[in-house]
Amino acid sequence: MKKIAVLTSGGDSPGMNAAIRAVVRKAIYHDIEVYGVYQGYLGLINDNIKKLELGSVGDMIQRGGTFLYSARCPEFKEKEVRAKAIENLEKRGIEGLVVIGGDGSYRGAQRLSEEAKNLKTIGVPGTIDNDINGTDFTIGFDTALNTIIDAVDKIRDTASSHERTFIIEVMGRDAGDLALWSGLAAGAETILIPEVKSDIEEIAEKIQHGMDRGKKHSIIICAEGVMTGHQCGEELKKFINIDTRVSCLGHIQRGGTPTGMDRVLASRLGGYAVELLMQGDSAKAVGIQQNELTCTHFDEIFQAEHNIDKKMYNLAHQLSI
Ligand code: F6P
């Protein structure tokens, strides 16, 4: 393999730059030319592709976001649109493509590997949601988790001063990992995640029970996929007369300098993606499972359901009585 390209796609996540850096440096180390595709699949269609050098990724490992930019590109579901992307890669002689993103981005990569005559694709899991099968952790999850914990710790100070119940809405449309992990780490009284049906009346009873025991404040972490923080507040008011406040953390969770864990993960996964391309693998995604680098076919990734750690969920519940 002589030429490869790399792109970032979907919601950005802290550590994507570190992953791009690893792809670029690892490839150049092995005398492979690397091209950066700007704006994800959109750049592939619009031919926004530029050669990257060692210096292109200098001073990048610590930066949040992605210097290649990212985009959501629904038109990439169209075969004719993908044909244009393939043409743009082929005219440069690019034989390998590393796609850093979530499983929506992997679907585009899978299609490309099927439709292009001479293109191998490898996915690298980059999303704060931690919702991709075939890996224990995604790039950006740890940073987002720490951002949430920091925010909840601060909110707890004011919740305690005013003896209030706070509802903190965190990201996660379909996956509750951010809510669960941050809830456990920040000592939340209640964690609402899409994977477990929530009973608002029961939550209200729990808050009341805590208040009866002298508990002055309460923290509820609500994943956006369950309902908004404001909806949660309204629902609670049907069962309990308390003064609630809502904080929606929003896109602050997607920014910031990546943690050490995310930089190391991104570097390992980015480097491994290049190794796989060099040995001829395609239509697979890299991952980390029990601290070992692994790779899994896209098909397998799409078939499996994303599950939360039930034991961890139960523990969080037990520790928050
Ligand atoms: O995919 C990551 C994510 O941050 C989700 O948690 C969130 O629901 C979504 O992206 C928001 O996407 P956008 O920035 O496109 O509104």
Structure tokens at 88: 């743009």
Ligand 1 pocket, residue 11 CB under 6 Å? yes
Give the per-residue pLDDT at 74.
94
Position 306 scores a pLDDT of 86
165 annotated among ligand-binding-site residues: no
Regarding the beta carbon of 172 and ligand 1, being less than 6 Å apart is answered yes
Q: Which atom of ligand 1 is nearest to the CA of 10?
A: 1
Residue 243's pLDDT band (cuts 50, 70, 90): confident
Cα separation, 140 vs 143, whole angstroms: 5
pLDDT tens digit sequence for 181-201:
999 999 999 999 999 999 999
Q: Does the CB atom of residue 128 touch ligand 1 within 6 A?
A: yes
How remote is the CA of residue 321 from the centroid of ligand 1, in Å?
A: 32
**pLDDT tens digits for range 121-166:** 999 999 999 999 999 999 999 999 999 999 999 999 999 999 999 9
| Buried-exposed string 131-143: b where 16+ CB fall within 10 A, e elsewhere | bbbbbebbbbbbb
Distances from the Cα of 286 to the Cα of 27, 164, 243, angstroms: 16, 44, 47
Task: Measure the CA dihedral 140/142/145/149, to 10°.
Answer: -140
Per-residue pLDDT for 321 more than 90?
no
Q: What is the mean pLDDT of the chain?
A: 97
Q: Could you identify the residue written with the tokens 């490309």? A: 112
